[in-house]
């Protein structure tokens, strides 16, 4: 598993790098092969360490963000969150993970949940710039908004993050 650690406005202690490598290998190796790429971003917010853990494997992205007073606790909570995501979506992600990922982990049966789509919505997408899309999203009272970007002609999604800032999803075609 390839690992990259970055820190925002703080130093990365050597013992944390070793700890992270050991924890990732011991807890996540059963799901992901050696080709998995792991990115850990650390930041200090109001006396809490915020860890953002992103694992990329077989064109799938698994992401978790946790905060704690101690960086090791935040990392462990992030790893637990990714494992919960995998367990929750077992049937969907099973073919994307290693063949042996679920051999010993799931001795007890897990309730399968079918996602019920209760509504399909179609709407006309007029080209608009990012500021107009954010305004439209706020006027609708939504936390996300899909729009045709007037500058690129591509379909984009703008959303409001937990920290109150905005982010934009832009497609990349391979």
The string of pLDDT tens digits covering residues 70-123 is 999 999 999 999 888 877 766 666 665 655 555 555 555 555 556 788 888 888
Q: What is the pTM of this model?
A: 0.61
Determine if residue 35 is left, alpha or beta; phi over 0 gives left, psi from -120 to 50 gives alpha, anything else beta: alpha
* Structural domains of the chain, with CATH: 2-96 (3.30.160.100), 127-169 (3.30.505.50)
Collapsing DSSP to helix, strand or coil, 62 comes out as: strand
Task: List the beta strands (DSSP E) in 59-103.
Answer: 60-68
Write out the H or E segment, with its range, that includes residue 92. helix 90-93
Tokens at residue 26, please?
Answer: 């011991």
For all residues of the chain together, what is the average pLDDT? Answer: 84
């Amino acid at each position: 598993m390839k690992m990259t650690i970055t820190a925002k406005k703080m130093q990365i202690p050597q013992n944390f790098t070793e700890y992270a490598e050991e924890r990732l290998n011991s807890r996540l190796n059963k799901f992901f092969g050696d080709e998995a790429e792991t990115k850990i971003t650390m930041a200090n917010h109001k006396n809490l360490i915020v860890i953002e853990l992103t694992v990329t494997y077989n064109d799938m992205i698994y992401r978790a963000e946790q905060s704690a007073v101690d960086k090791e606790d935040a990392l462990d909570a992030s790893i637990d969150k990714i494992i919960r995501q995998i367990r929750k979506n077992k049937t969907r992600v099973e073919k994307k993970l290693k063949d042996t990922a679920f051999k010993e982990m799931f001795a007890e049966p897990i309730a399968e949940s079918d996602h019920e789509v209760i509504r399909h919505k179609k709407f006309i997408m007029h080209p608009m710039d990012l500021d107009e899309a954010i305004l439209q999203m706020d006027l609708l009272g939504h936390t996300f908004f899909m729009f045709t970007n007037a500058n690129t002609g591509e379909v984009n999604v703008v959303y409001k993050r937990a920290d109150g800032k905005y982010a934009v999803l832009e497609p990349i075609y391979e």
